[in-house]
A = this chain, B = another copy of it.
Amino acid sequence: MAIHRASISDLAAQLNLSVSTVSRALSDNSRISAETKKRVWDLARQLNYQPNQLAAALRNGRSNTLGVVVPHIDGHFFALVLKGIETIANQAGLNVMICQSNEDVNQEKKNIKTLLNAQVDGILVSLALSTRDFRHLDEVRDQGIPLVFFDRILEDPGVSAVVLNDYQGGYEATVHLIEQGCRRVAHLGGPQHINICKNRYQGYADALRDHGLVADPRLVHFSDLSMQDGCLGMEFLLGHDARVDGVFSCNDLALVGAMQVLKRSGRTIPHDVALAGFSNELFASLTEPMLTSVDQRCELMGQTAVQMLLEMVAKGAEHVPARQVVLQPELLIRGSSSRTPRETLSMAV
């Protein structure tokens, strides 16, 4: 029935007004008399008039849509960031298109292309682990589309970005392990060309140094941080030094793999080996014992990023100086690392 959406010209015809007057009335233009506005609004409501966003977009050169590229949407972190993004964007009357790169540069390139084609007004990106070539992102800036990175960023003072203080997170987690009595703290690290992985590692390394511990390169293992990578990494680390008594992992998933290997080898946690991860994934509270983890400010990160983007969209990307916001992490101490005093003193199996 109501297969035909009412348009501005329908309103105009019924009210014996011109299209332009109706348009101005709807946008509350000061040149239109109060009486006319009321007539227009009343009829609009009655006919359930909904503006045609596409037409407006074409005319204005703005689509009222933002694009987001994330490595994946499962996992606590990105899900919450996206929630933050959606909330603010919707408040501002903007739609959001979400694309997953599946941690693959090529998919990421396609995503960017898709979003540019859809003529989004701005793009938020968190880079795939495999991204080492950034030309597809240059294209975004060449087209004058506002671009804001979050979490996994392109490290370049010229870009706007929101990140967690990953260094601080790595530092605090490692210090915590040391305070729990660990002396041979290993690290499961991610690809070092990714800012977050590098910074977490750096925090770890500096924490060891600041506490007079040697940073043994053989106690560090880099991988892509899947659960299996965590298993293999832990086996590798134990192969070099069976006396590892603490592990700080760049993410929670790899840490779960590591925990399984440690348990299988007969070690108890946190007694023999204390563990701390990163991201505070949902499952970090489901393991036994629960994982100590660094909480990222997920929703806040999403909100902050989208706010920066909105400012750039409003003022034009070139009129907003690039800036980088750094959020402070929070270490959540749980069973995988908290040794009671007695445990700290007692000895191995």
Interface residues of A (CB under 8 A from B): 1-3, 5, 50-55, 57-58, 63, 65, 72-76, 79-80, 82-83, 86, 90, 95-100, 102, 110, 114, 116-119, 142-144, 227, 256, 263, 282-283, 286-288
Across-interface contacts of A72 in B (CB, < 8 A)? 79
Assembly CA distance A80 to B73 (angstroms):
9
Interchain CB contact under 8 A, A50 and B90? no
Across-interface contacts of A142 in B (CB, < 8 A)? 1-2
How many chain copies does the complex carry? Answer: 2
Across-interface contacts of A2 in B (CB, < 8 A)? 142-143
Assembly CA distance A98 to B85 (angstroms):
12
Across-interface contacts of A54 in B (CB, < 8 A)? 54, 57-58, 63, 119
Interchain CB contact under 8 A, A50 and B116? yes
Assembly CA distance A100 to B84 (angstroms):
11
The residue in chain B whose Cβ has the minimal distance to the Cβ of A110 is B90
Q: Given the interface contacts A52-B119, A119-B54, A143-B5, does A256 sit within 8 Å of B286 by beta carbon?
A: yes
Assembly CA distance A76 to B281 (angstroms):
13
Q: What's the minimum C-beta distance from A53 to chain B, rounded to whole angstroms?
A: 6
Q: What's the minimum C-beta distance from A286 to chain B, rounded to whole angstroms?
A: 5
Interchain CB contact under 8 A, A3 and B143? yes
Assembly CA distance A53 to B61 (angstroms):
11
